[in-house]
């Protein structure tokens, strides 16, 4: 086995340059935009026996010990991204924290509604004098990620603290994307920049813009941008409401053309422009119970460095080292391979189980849930519990790259 090369800096640099907001995969929208292609495909139906409805294969983990521990191990994927309404924002606006952030927003409260859901995502944003993102509080309702439950996120100084209330766990990670997204949002909300950007897109032939300025000064100005039939935003319409007195954007409605009708799919409301936000909003003090599990991935490197190992090799190696650490009752080391869970929590979870030997590990295979971007490693170990020796068989131990620690791999999900 080759010694891993120390190229962490290069991994980080490449992630920084190439890493991107996950593309929005929306098959329903694609179907609407490509009726001819859909027709071509579906016209083939009936030439051969038509298949029945889709069925997802159920993953069955039979070990009773698996079930015991699965309830205890709680760290899940951290999904910090939000649905920013428009991906066409030029990099100069949204993706770079330029020296002069070029917008007038200094604080803002956003309520982001999704069609069909009552509870909005909420964001409280504080910017510094230069317009750089200083603090963010975000609330993500359970519908955004049912497996995680509702989350509260506090972002400051490049760190995001994520409070998983349902799982009674606080996770701290390095993160820059959330602040970049928030900066992009502020620049989109800034009325001057928002209109400037839409004009730019109009000149490029991407959108048709209409401005309706009611004579009644109490009524908002409506800026409507309708995307043309070409491109990934075909059928999209954005309506900005601009307060006539303050000239601030107060709401942003997003519509999608469906059945010859523009149907609302999202609404963002903007409140409390440049109103001082209570600093207490940007701390979780008092919200986290004393017995909550705390994992700080900013003060420790989690998992195992990949070096020159292949994904499959490093996944197997992570699993092997994890069980080896448990055999030695080195809970601190074992926790490092399990998202960085603290030693005392590991002892609490795994102390009653004595791992005697590794019977088999691997080979790794793609995880049955491709969305995890992980690998599944089958493992069988011999254990002793309550004086009885038995085999502990895990069909699919999940291993994947650590969030925001490129090149390092960890076990994820339940054990």
Partner 1 sequence: MNGGFVDLNSETQLVEAARNGHLESFGALYRRYHSQMVALAYSMLADRDLAEDAAQEVFAAACRDIESLKSTERFAAWLAGICRNVSRQMLRANKVRPAALSDDYAAPSANDSTDRKEAIRRAVWSLREAERELIVMRYFDGFSQSQISQVLDLSPQAVNGRLIRAKRKVAAYLKRNGLTGDDHGTS
Residues near partner 1 (CB under 8 A) are 6-20, 22-23, 25, 27, 30-31, 33-34, 37-38, 40-57, 87-88, 230-232, 308-312, 365-366, 368, 370, 373-375, 400-401, 406
| CA-closest candidate to residue 135, choices 112, 104, 157, 152 | 157
| Burial of residue 11, with CB atoms counted within 10 A of its CB: 0-12 exposed, 13-18 middle, 19 or more buried | middle
What are the C-alpha distances in Å from 297 to residues 164, 335, 366?
15, 12, 25
Q: How far is the CB of 35 from partner 1 (least distance, A)?
A: 10
Is the Cβ of residue 2 or residue 285 nearer to partner 1 in the bound state?
Answer: 2
Contact 63, 289 (CB under 8 A): no
Is the Cβ of residue 191 or residue 407 nearer to partner 1 in the bound state?
Answer: 407
Is the Cβ of residue 351 or residue 366 nearer to partner 1 in the bound state?
Answer: 366
Q: How far is the CB of 230 from partner 1 (least distance, A)?
A: 8
Q: How far is the CB of 2 from partner 1 (least distance, A)?
A: 10
Is the Cβ of residue 121 or residue 367 nearer to partner 1 in the bound state?
Answer: 367
Q: How far is the CB of 78 from partner 1 (least distance, A)?
A: 13
Is the Cβ of residue 31 or residue 258 nearer to partner 1 in the bound state?
Answer: 31
- Buried b / exposed e across 177-204, counting CB within 10 Å, b at 16+? bbbbbbbbbbbbbbbebbbebbeebeee
Is the Cβ of residue 152 or residue 306 nearer to partner 1 in the bound state?
Answer: 306
Contact 223, 242 (CB under 8 A): yes
Q: How far is the CB of 6 from partner 1 (least distance, A)?
A: 7
Q: How far is the CB of 373 from partner 1 (least distance, A)?
A: 5
Q: Could you tell me where the beta strands, DSSP code E, fall in 141-220?
A: 151-156, 159-164, 169-174, 207-212
**Backbone φ, ψ for residue 243 (5° rounding):** -65, 130
Contact 368, 379 (CB under 8 A): no
Is the Cβ of residue 246 or residue 308 nearer to partner 1 in the bound state?
Answer: 308
User: Which helix (H) or strand (E) covers residue 13, if one does?
Assistant: helix 8-18
Q: How far is the CB of 316 from partner 1 (least distance, A)?
A: 13
């Amino acid at each position: 086995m080759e010694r891993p090369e120390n190229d962490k800096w290069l991994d980080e640099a490449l992630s920084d340059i190439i890493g991107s907001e996950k593309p929005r995969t929306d098959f329903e929208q694609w179907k609407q935009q490509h009726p001819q292609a859909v027709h071509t495909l579906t016209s083939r139906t009936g030439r051969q026996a038509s298949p029945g409805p889709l069925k997802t294969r159920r993953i069955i983990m039979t070990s009773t010990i698996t079930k015991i521990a699965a309830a205890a191990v709680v760290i899940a994927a951290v999904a910090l991204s939000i649905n920013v309404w428009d991906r066409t924002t030029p990099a100069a606006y949204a993706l770079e924290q330029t020296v002069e952030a070029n917008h007038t927003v200094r604080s803002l409260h956003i309520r982001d509604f999704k069609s069909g859901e009552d509870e909005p995502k909420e964001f409280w944003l504080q910017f510094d004098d230069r317009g750089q993102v200083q603090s963010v509080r975000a609330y993500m309702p359970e519908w955004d990620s049912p497996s995680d439950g509702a989350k509260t996120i506090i972002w400051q100084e490049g760190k995001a603290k994520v409070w998983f209330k349902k799982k009674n766990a606080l996770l701290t990670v390095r993160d820059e994307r959330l602040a970049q997204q928030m900066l992009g949002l502020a620049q989109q909300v800034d009325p001057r920049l928002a209109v400037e950007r839409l004009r730019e897109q109009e000149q490029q032939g991407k959108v048709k813009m209409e401005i309706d300025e009611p004579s009644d000064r109490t009524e908002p100005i409506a800026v409507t941008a309708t995307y043309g039939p070409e491109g990934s935003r075909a059928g999209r319409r954005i309506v900005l409401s601009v307060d006539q007195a303050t000239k601030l954007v107060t709401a942003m409605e997003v519509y999608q053309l469906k059945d010859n009708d523009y149907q609302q799919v999202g609404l963002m409301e903007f409140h409390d422009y440049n109103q001082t936000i209570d600093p207490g909003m940007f701390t979780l003090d008092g919200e986290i119970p004393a017995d909550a599990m705390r994992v700080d991935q900013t003060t420790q490197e989690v998992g195992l460095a990949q070096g020159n190992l292949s994904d499959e090799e490093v996944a197997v190696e992570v699993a092997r080292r994890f069980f080896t650490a448990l055999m030695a009752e080195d809970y601190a080391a074992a926790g490092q391979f399990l998202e960085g869970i603290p030693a005392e929590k590991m002892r609490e979870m795994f102390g009653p189980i004595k791992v005697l030997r590794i019977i088999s590990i691997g080979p790794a295979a793609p995880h049955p849930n491709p969305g995890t971007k992980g690998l599944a490693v089958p493992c069988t170990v011999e254990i002793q519990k309550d004086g009885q020796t038995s085999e502990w068989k895990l069909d699919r131990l999940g291993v994947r790259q650590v969030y925001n620690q490129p090149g390092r791999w960890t076990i994820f999900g339940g054990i």
